[in-house]
Amino acid sequence: MKIPETYTEFEDSLQTSKPPINWPESLKALWFMAKGDWEASHDIAQDLHTPMGSLTHAHLHRVEGDDWNAKYWYRKAGRTYTDIPFEEELRKLIEEALQGTS
């Protein structure tokens, strides 16, 4: 499966049981989060030493309720803590990751 170009294509990929192997790790982490698999997403994000990895890590800890840890990861990514709804933030992260893959 090719790397999605749009959020809709990304959403369509959620019908599969796992993300395609050729996807960037950052997109795989977001895919697992979109599927509700916090652990799998975290396993990938904690090993991504990139701004997107830090943002994904921050989002995961915010969802978990660990605001102190989330704030640390937002700072690592050069961003400020946000309190927008989780779903909205996840969509923004996915869209940002998709822009970075084109």
In the structure, what pLDDT confidence band is assigned to residue 102 with cuts at 50, 70 and 90?
Answer: very low
pLDDT of 97 strictly over 70? yes
Banded pLDDT at 47 (limits 50, 70, 90): very high
Which structure tokens are listed for 11? 């959403």
pTM of the shown model: 0.93
Which letter does DSSP use for residue 102 in this model?
A: -
Classify the C-alpha dihedral 20-21-26-31 as positive or negative.
positive
Look at residue 25 and tell me whether its pLDDT is greater than 80. yes
CB 41 within 8 A of CB 29: yes
CA 40 centroid distance within chain: 11
Residue whose structure tokens are 């499966």? 1
Amino acid 13: pLDDT? 94
